[in-house]
Amino acid sequence: MGQSEHFEVAKSHPRIVRYDELRPCRDAFIDTRSPGSDKKENFTIIGPGVSENPNQYVHIAEPHGFNIGAARQPANCVNSQHSHETAEVFYVHKGQWAFRTGETGKDSEVILNPGDLISIPTDVFRGFENISQNTNDEPGFLWAVLGGDDPGHVLWAPYVFDMAKDFGLVLLENGNLVDTGKGERIPEGQNPMAVTTRIQVEALKCFSDTQLRNCCVMSDEGVSEFSRGGLTQRKLIGPTAKLSWPHGFTLGHMTLLPHASAEQVRYPGSEVLFVHSGELTVKLMDETWHLLPGDTATLVKGSARQLVNRTDRPVEFIRVRGDI
């Protein structure tokens, strides 16, 4: 077998977000000064996400019916307990991660590794930590899909507000963050968000370890929907998948064998690709994209595209399609 083919990759394209061009926000949320959470990076790749920092950089603003984001954290870095108003899905690209539910993260826990996926339903406190053992390793990376064009705001556990007081961060009722440590002031007519009440906490769902595990699809699980032309899909989220409750999108794990070419297809709705491993070539009518691990690309609705692997190694990637 010959040597793998390598490509010269164009750095900038309006529909591609390269991993090495991601622009992080290091103060996206109220907990980003709290010890143990102060080294995390947040990314809004497609859509506004749930960032509380009005200056968060959005890579692609075009509405898709869902949002794409990401979190990058070094070992032992924690994202504090919070709940969401819409679907929140994480695919593990790098690192080992502990996901925990409950007000203080003690209700349940599951450990995920690269290639694993989790979707925690709405109205459940959740948090996560990079628990990679070798602290010299590169940071862990979670690729995320959020439901809806507007995924709303997060509801923080009460202790998060208590910690933020010591570090000058104030969350407003409109969901924006004010950094008094940098000299910012609460705008006139705006009020701080009230600390989450016991009534709000008790209204959320409690998950057992078994229930949380049932929100996951590990790298060796999933319904094999089809395999043709060297392209195989494991359906992870959708009507016939393990995670079958409504999300507003479907999600599949795709594998394209070495030197294989999938048939040309069109999809009328939003479609986003994320490369987990290998090198993926996307042939369009008037251009060709070469995507590397960690790259995210969004296709024009209804455009013809062909997926090709021009190397000696399989390509693994995630495909998200919006409901139509």
Residue 207 lies in a domain: yes
Residue 6 lies in a domain: no
Q: What is the pLDDT of residue 4?
A: 44
Of 169, 200, 217, which residue constitutes the final position of a domain?
Answer: 217
Residue 1 lies in a domain: no
Residue 317 lies in a domain: yes
Q: Which of 95, 54, 320, 84 is nearest to 205 (CA)?
A: 84
Indicate if 151 and 173 belong to the same structural domain: yes
Q: What is the pLDDT of residue 32?
A: 87
Length of the chain: 324
User: Which CATH number belongs to the domain containing residue 84 in this structure?
Assistant: 2.60.120.10
Indicate if 182 and 33 belong to the same structural domain: yes
Q: What is the pLDDT of residue 42?
A: 95
Residue 263 lies in a domain: yes
Indicate if 74 and 211 belong to the same structural domain: yes
Of 174, 195, 217, which residue constitutes the final position of a domain?
Answer: 217
202-237 residues labelled b (16+ CB within 10 A) or e (exposed):
eebeebeeebbeebbbbbeebeeeeeeebbbbbbbb
- Displacement of CA 80 from its chain's centroid (Å): 16
Residue 86 tokens read as 């819409």
Indicate if 199 and 234 belong to the same structural domain: no
- CA distances (Å), origin 211, targets 88, 242, 250: 16, 13, 21
Residue 5 lies in a domain: no
Indicate if 174 and 106 belong to the same structural domain: yes
Indicate if 285 and 183 belong to the same structural domain: no
Q: What is the pLDDT of residue 1?
A: 33
- CA distances (Å), origin 200, targets 83, 191, 197, 203, 275: 11, 19, 5, 5, 39
Cβ(281)–Cβ(309) below 8 Å: yes
Indicate if 100 and 124 belong to the same structural domain: yes
Give the structural domain span for 25: 16-217
Residue 70 lies in a domain: yes
Of 148, 183, 217, which residue constitutes the final position of a domain?
Answer: 217
Give the separation between CA 256 and CA 296, rounded to whole angstroms: 17
Indicate if 172 and 129 belong to the same structural domain: yes
Q: What is the pLDDT of residue 148?
A: 95
Give the separation between CA 12 and CA 113, rounded to whole angstroms: 30
Taking only the tens of pLDDT, the chain with its 324 residues reads 334 454 555 567 999 999 999 999 988 899 988 888 889 999 999 999 998 888 899 999 999 999 999 999 999 999 999 999 999 999 999 999 999 999 999 999 999 999 999 999 999 999 999 999 876 678 999 999 999 999 988 999 999 998 888 888 889 988 888 888 888 888 998 999 999 999 999 999 999 999 999 999 999 886 676 667 799 999 999 998 999 999 999 999 999 999 999 989 999 999 999 999 999 999 999 999 999 999 999 999 999 999 999 999 999 999 999 998
pTM: 0.92
Indicate if 167 and 231 belong to the same structural domain: no
Residue 245 lies in a domain: yes
Indicate if 232 and 116 belong to the same structural domain: no
Full strand arrangement of the beta sheet holding 126-130: 108-112, 97-101, 126-130, 78-83, 155-156
Indicate if 169 and 293 belong to the same structural domain: no
Indicate if 193 and 150 belong to the same structural domain: yes
Q: How many domains does the chain have?
A: 2
Q: Which residues contact 282 (CB under 8 A, 6 or more apart)?
A: 273, 288, 289, 291, 297, 299, 305, 306, 307, 308
